[in-house]
Every structure is written in C-alpha cells, then in structure tokens.
Amino acid sequence: MTPEVLTLSETPWLFTGVMLVKIIVAFVGTLLIVAYATYAERKIIGRMQTRMGPNMTGPKGLLQPIADGLKLFFKEDIIPSQSHWFAFILAPMMILAPAFISIAVIPFGGDIHFTYDGTLYEVPLQITDLNIGVLFIVAMAGLGVYGIVLAGLASNNKYSLLGGIRSTAQMISYELAAGISIVAIFMLSETLSMRGIVVAQQLPLWGIESLSFIPNWYIFSQPLAFGLFVIGSMAEINRTPFDLPEAETELVSGFCTEYSAMKYALFFMAEYANMITVSAIAATLFLGGWGGPFFGWMNFLIKVFAFMFFFIWIRATFPRLRYDQLMFLGWKVLLPLSLLNVVLTGIAILLCS
C-alpha cells in the first residue's frame, strides 16, 4: 500500500525545522558562491587578458577569498567626519539585503520526499512559493538602488553623490526594459509563480507528446526577451560595461569612494550576490530552472554558473560605455524593443489560440 503523501504545513513543528534548514542552506550556499565568485573572476579574467590571477594563497590560490575577507575585517573602519554617520552605516546593508531576500522565492530543485514516523512528506526545494514571485523579485531589485543612493548622499562627497545620481537614472532606465521584457513570459506561462513558470517549461513543446524530448524552454520561443532581460539585468546590477556609478576614470570610486574595511566589502558582496540572483532568475525564466539531464539542483547550479561565467566574460571583453550611450541604449533601443516584443507575443498567442 502506497503511504499517504503529506505536505510539511500539516505538521507545524516539522515544517518550521525544514524551513530553517532550507534558509540556512540557501544563505550559506549563496555566501560561499559570492566568496569564490571573486576568485573565479580573477582567474578567468586573468586567463582571458593574459594576466596573473591569485595563485599564492593556498593550493592554486583557493584560500585567497578567505584571506581577502580576513584582511578587510581587520582593516581600519573610517567614517568621514562630515558624513551622515547613521545613513553611512546603513547604506551597505540596504544594498545587500534585497539580493539575499530575492533568493527566497527562486526554486532550486524539484520536490524531494522523506519518510518520518511512517508518514511520507513532500518537500519543495524552495524557501517559499509566492503566487506573485516574479513581482516580489522585481520589487526587491528596485529596493537595491536605495543603498547606492544613500551611500552617495551620506558620504557628503561630490564624487559619491554623482555616482548615486547615476545609479538612480540607470536603474530607472534599465529596470523598465528588463521588467517589460519578462511580461511575455507571464503571457506564455499564465502564472507569476517562479515554480509555476518552471513547471510550464516542462510541458511538451506545443502540447505535442511526441516532441517531449525537446526542451520547451522560453529562451527558444522568446529569444528577444531573453537578450533584453540579460542586458537590462547587467545594467541594473552595475556590471561592466554598465558600471558607471563606480567609474574610477572620472568618479574615483563613485558611490563607495569614502568606504573602507568591511563596509567596502559589503558593496562588492552585494554586487556578486546580485549577479547570482540575476543568473538564477534568468535560468528559471528562460532555461527551465532545474530541468535537465542531471539531478534537479545540479541542473540549476550548472545554468547559474554558466550565466555568471558569461557576465565575467563580458567584463573581460567590453569597455565601459559613455553615459550618453548608456541612456540612449536604455530609452531608445531596449525599451521600444521590449514593448514591441510584448505586442508580438500577444498577437502570436491570439493567432495560435
């Protein structure tokens, strides 16, 4: 006799314990990827640009991220005398928190089952599945800019202020294009749940069972939306060639000019955490999430790491844009294309229905 499958919500104390485990695994896993993303970026860019990467601390430099963290932890923490000290301290945390919160609604695998006390339980590999998960992520992404703006204002430094202002304009410009580009995904999947979007991509192509061996990923049916989302996301997280808010050629170090020690490190942790989040969102929306030839979470991690490698590759290859080019691309190229893609997707759905 097949045992009854129960959800954890029917056993509150077990639900609480499993939820804590999932939160700790997601948080610690993200921190580890953040730490070694810096190592990977140095190694990859060093190889691409024929430069030496970190290779002295530990075997092949594998202890370099730990050494960097310890170094920054023990450096002198300076707060400028003319700064607004409370906002100055708050800003790094405000930019880091939304990146970690967004991880909560991203599914990193299918359901797993375990038996306890003779009862079979079903556990989704996701902290929580909101029915408006995508809107939640977009909202959290919008909050990230407040940390950069606050850092620029609180530093009482003209270079920092200009970096914060640049970030505001850049975020507004590219969040519009990136947000509208994924509307086409909602139209096809008919859900805003991240888990629901992954499940929709596991259905047979065009509803034909004989074509079930072909991945029904949205990157194939929405290539324009995919390109717009990736470009817009790179600009939204200030990755090269869109890192104008921290351009050292004209702004010293932009919004983080006055920061040092661990406060300085928090900004760069936020950058890599945001890169992980964007990679996870792109893998979920366009590459079928955990779907693939391997075990669920392994497929998901492979896709996330592939996107991160792509972002690092772009940094090693392209020069920084001028600010007028940045604004032109956002408002006059990406935004019209994203609107056009939504219209074309709507027409295609009407014709195929």
| Distance, CA of 183 to CA of 344 (rounded, Å) | 12
* pLDDT score recorded for residue 211: 58
pLDDT tens by residue, 5-29: 666 666 776 778 888 888 888 888 8
The mean of the pLDDT values for the chain is 84
- Domain-located, residue 200: yes
Rounded to the nearest 10°, the torsion over CA 283, 172, 145, 126 is: -30
pLDDT of residue 210: 55
Q: Is 72 inside any structural domain?
A: no
214 pLDDT higher than 80: no
Q: CA-CA distances (angstroms) from residue 77 to 94, 182, 323? A: 18, 41, 32
Please say whether the beta carbons of 198 and 290 come within 8 A.
Answer: yes
98-112, 208-222, 253-267, 335-349: range with highest mean pLDDT: 335-349
Which of 100-109, 115-124, 276-285 has maximum average pLDDT? Answer: 276-285
Give the model's pLDDT for residue 6: 61
Task: Encode pLDDT of 246-284 as tens digits.
Answer: 777 777 777 888 887 888 888 888 888 889 999 999 999
Q: Could you tell me if residue 220 is inside a domain? A: yes
Average pLDDT score over residue span 51-73: 80
C-beta of residue 153 within 8 angstroms of C-beta of residue 84:
yes
Structural contact between residues 312 and 74, judged by C-beta atoms closer than 8 angstroms: no
Q: What percent of the chain has pLDDT over 90?
A: 19
> How does pLDDT run across 298-331, given as a tens digit for each residue?
899 999 999 999 999 998 888 888 888 888 998 9
DSSP 124: E
- pLDDT score for 146: 81
pLDDT band at 209 (very low <50, low <70, confident <90, very high): low
**Is the model's pLDDT at 116 over the cut of 80?**
no
CA 89 to chain centre: 24
Q: For residue range 23-60, list pLDDT tens digits in order.
A: 888 888 888 898 889 888 888 888 888 877 777 777 88
Question: Which residue shows structure tokens 């060093």?
Answer: 46
Domain-located, residue 194 = yes
Cα–Cα distance measured from residue 174 to residue 179, given in angstroms and rounded to the nearest whole number: 8
Does residue 14 belong to any structural domain of this protein? no
Is residue 37 one of the residues assigned to a domain? no
Task: Average the pLDDT over 340-347 and give the result.
Answer: 93
DSSP state of 136: H
Residue 13 phi/psi, 5-degree rounding, is -70, -35
Please give the average per-residue pLDDT across 146-162, as a whole number: 82
> What 3-state DSSP class applies to 111?
strand
State phi, psi for 114 to the nearest 5 degrees.
-145, 155
- At 109 the pLDDT is 84
| Separation between Cα atoms, residue 111 and residue 124, nearest integer Å | 4
Q: Say what the pTM is.
A: 0.89
Whether residue 53 lies inside any domain: the answer is no
CA separation for the pair 313, 225 (Å, rounded): 21
Q: What is the pLDDT confidence band of residue 1, given thresholds at 50, 70 and 90? A: very low
The runs of H, that is alpha helices, within the chain are 12-48, 64-74, 85-102, 133-154, 158-181, 183-189, 194-200, 218-221, 223-236, 248-251, 261-286, 296-317, 323-328, 335-352
pLDDT at residue 221 tops 80: yes
Closest by CA to 78, choosing from 272, 256, 270, 271, is: 256
How far apart CA 192 and CA 207 sit, in angstroms, is 21
**Is 2 a member of any domain?**
no
Q: Which two tokens stand for residue 66?
A: 């730990």
Per-residue model confidence (pLDDT) at position 9:
61
Q: How many domains does the chain have?
A: 1
Q: Give the structural domain span for 253.
A: 78-107+128-352
